[in-house]
Structure 1
Amino acid sequence: MLPIQDLYPLLNTPRKVVITMHQKPDADAMGSALGLYHFLVQLGHHVTVVSPTNWAKWLNWMPGCNKVVDFELTRDKAEGILKEAEWIFCLDFNILLRTKNMAPIIKALNVTRILIDHHAQPDTPTFAYGISDTKKSSTSEMIYDFIVEAGYKHLVNKEVAQCLYAGVMTDTGSFRFPAASAAVHRMIADFKDQGLDHTKVHEHIYDNYLENRLRFIGHVLLHRMEVFYEYNTALISIPKKDLLRYEIKTGDTEGLVNYPLSIQGIRLAAIVIDRDEERKWSFRSKGDFDVNSFARKYFEGGGHFNAAGGRSSASLDETVEHFMQAIQENEAALQEERTSSNKKQ
């Protein structure tokens, strides 16, 4: 994989470009894709954003989202677009498997694949150009860097700013996570200079749900959350019947894993959701407990040091039992912060 900087001189020549992201795209995946889209069209490229799957309805406000092609919904159309592409930008994932059913098609195409991502252990041989930087707050921040370092800061318009701000805001937990660096805040200042109304973006993301989601969250916190203080861990386990009862759609469980981290002393929060084909895990941690390694070791997953995901083909009860065994094996690491705090006292 050649460094992304080698691509900069080639941006002046218009090409047929596809931008894609991981399945079930979140605000960073969709925001970075659409932010890049609005930049590239200003350079004269013919650009299409193709999502591997559907996405949360509360992302539809993003400028350009109405033009995104859903691969699963319109497969023939999407395949035709992919086969005509000269460049495919792969955003917010480190391996093609994250694009689900699109993966074998992208792999087989004689096309220039370009990676821009902030997850660990990228599959670099798959890409002609790229950058992978786990220190970055989000892929949206990396798209901003890409635009600025290529010499096109003047093309960061209002549409680009809105999309990238949404991705950075969500991936930094509204700027509370350590990854919200000084560079991130300087970027936001630039967006504000472009006329960004950050309050509106926040409302689109966080104040745009149906009543059933709030009642679902209340039900889950009351009936589906367990706290294991001996392991500084909290677990939310959601059976499929809850999803059906509250008519939960794509994106409605976004951010739910963060709630238990507000409990004093909790270092690891986990949520497992019973989906049709598999059980989906999300992990969040505080301090120096590495959920990326935890997810890779126990649940075929990965991600970032303090935020990761995983999966299991076992039943919900079986995968929860596996999780309990896993935290028991990691008891010492989960208790380290408490021990060090006691020593300080």
Structure 2
Amino acid sequence: MLKNTDIEIITSIKTLLATSKKKLVIIPHENPDGDAIGSALGLGQVLADFGHEVKVLSANDYPVFLKWFSSDVPVIIYDKDKKKAKSWLNQADAMICVDFNEAKRAGKLEKKILEFGHKKVLIDHHPYPTQFCDFMVSETSYSSTAELVFDVLEATGLNENLSQKAAEALYTGILTDTGGFSHNISKNTFKVVSGLLNYEINTDKIQSSVFHNYSADRMKLLGYCLNEKMQVFPEYRAAVISISKEELKRFNFQPGDTEGFVNYPLSIKNIVFSALFIEKDGYVKASFRSKGNFPANKFSSSHFNGGGHLNAAGGESELNFEKTLLKFTQLLPEYKHQLLETTI
């Protein structure tokens, strides 16, 4: 149910996308995860089947374990082919941004998005959106952007073009952003999933492709992190994993290899807050997960220039790797009472 989107917005999107055929570009956020690429390809497939010429444009590459989709919508990687990306941006009649709500989350494509001269549509489920698109569908009650895309397609009548290929991609987006249907789910989530199952998608294959398709190096990195790099603070019901650039190199890191690492400490009895810090060039990437009513998003926005959902947030630090980790551990006493009082 689209609770926060005016009917005028839906009507405008329907007029833009469900009438004449156009050239469209769909942009997910930088470092696309399952929801970002699943939403982009699922929506793109529907629009292509309607008759539009569609290309997905990503700032950088996405994980190997998300490259099995049967969708025939092409994906242009800006990092690898700037000429082709710029050419399509120049040709496109409209732009659709999925799974992010401020232009900077698209990384190197931020400027291209802001400078785009035609109509722009946003479809996203993250809180606190910024106004950078003409038509914004921002619904924070949704488990995932993929779930939201399904309802937008239904509201605009474009769901008549939904196919098995599109359903497969949208199901993957929901599956990954809910951690295998373990969090952020609602009645509507299962209603949408039920609708996607009508297209005879192979859920066993999708589950295996997403969760059982890692490299040996990734598994070794995970084992190393849990054994050597995880610190547990039972007095604060918290835990943290930290990974340096040197450690990533040692385990032949590939994009997506650390996906889900931040969730593992939450499997420990009585732990309600988990953090993951990864050293990058010039900054430290931060991920936060929580249980119950502890606000990972507020913690991130207050201290690590980030934000997100109540139980899943991200951010970054401009401090060096060691000082960032120290900052996190020094913040825990400030939240001790709140963490101890968190109910799960």
Q: Give the TM-score, by structure 2 length.
A: 0.94
**1:188-212 CA distance string (max 9 Å, x none):** 2222221111000011101111111
Identity of aligned residues (%): 36
2:39 aligned residue: 32
How far apart are the structure 1 equivalents of 2:56 and 2:233? 43
1:317 to 313, 316, 322: 322
1:14 aligned residue: 21
How far apart are the structure 1 equivalents of 2:342 and 2:71? 45
How far apart are the structure 2 equivalents of 1:5 and 1:233? 46
How far apart are the structure 2 equivalents of 1:144 and 1:101? 28
Structure 1 residue 66, shift from structure 2 partner: 7.4
2:287 to 282, 288, 311: 282
Are the structure 2 counterparts of residues 19 and 66 from structure 1 closer, same or farther at C-alpha, using a change threshold of 3 Å? closer
Secondary structure, counterpart of 1:212 in structure 2: helix
Q: Within the alignment, does 1:148 sit opposite 2:123 as a pair? A: no
1:88 aligned residue: 95
Q: Within the alignment, does 1:67 sit opposite 2:74 as a pair? A: yes
Q: Within the alignment, does 1:254 sit opposite 2:253 as a pair? A: no
**1:258-294 CA distance string (max 9 Å, x none):** 0000111111000001122321110000011111111
1:103 aligned residue: 110
How far apart are the structure 2 equivalents of 1:236 and 1:4? 42
Contact 2:46 2:159 in 1 (8 A): no
1:123 aligned residue: 130
How far apart are the structure 1 equivalents of 2:65 and 2:157? 33
Over the residues paired in the alignment, what is the CA RMSD in angstroms? 1.5
1:231 aligned residue: 236
**1:183-236 CA distance string (max 9 Å, x none):** 211222222221111000011101111111111111110000000111110000
Residue type of the partner of 1:111?
H
Residue type of the partner of 2:218?
R
Structure 1 gaps, min length 5: none
Residue type of the partner of 1:28?
D
State how 1:67-216 maps to structure 2 within 5 Å.
67-124=74-131, 126-177=132-183, 179-216=184-221
Secondary structure, counterpart of 2:97 in structure 1: strand
How far apart are the structure 2 equivalents of 1:78 and 1:225? 40
Q: Within the alignment, does 1:272 sit opposite 2:277 as a pair? A: yes
Q: Within the alignment, does 1:304 sit opposite 2:309 as a pair? A: yes
Secondary structure, counterpart of 1:264 in structure 2: coil
Secondary structure, counterpart of 2:303 in structure 1: helix
Contact 2:50 2:161 in 1 (8 A): no
Q: Give the TM-score, by structure 1 length.
A: 0.94
Query: Number of residues paired by the alignment?
Result: 337
Residue type of the partner of 2:310?
F
Are the structure 2 counterparts of residues 81 and 280 from structure 1 closer, same or farther at C-alpha, using a change threshold of 3 Å? same
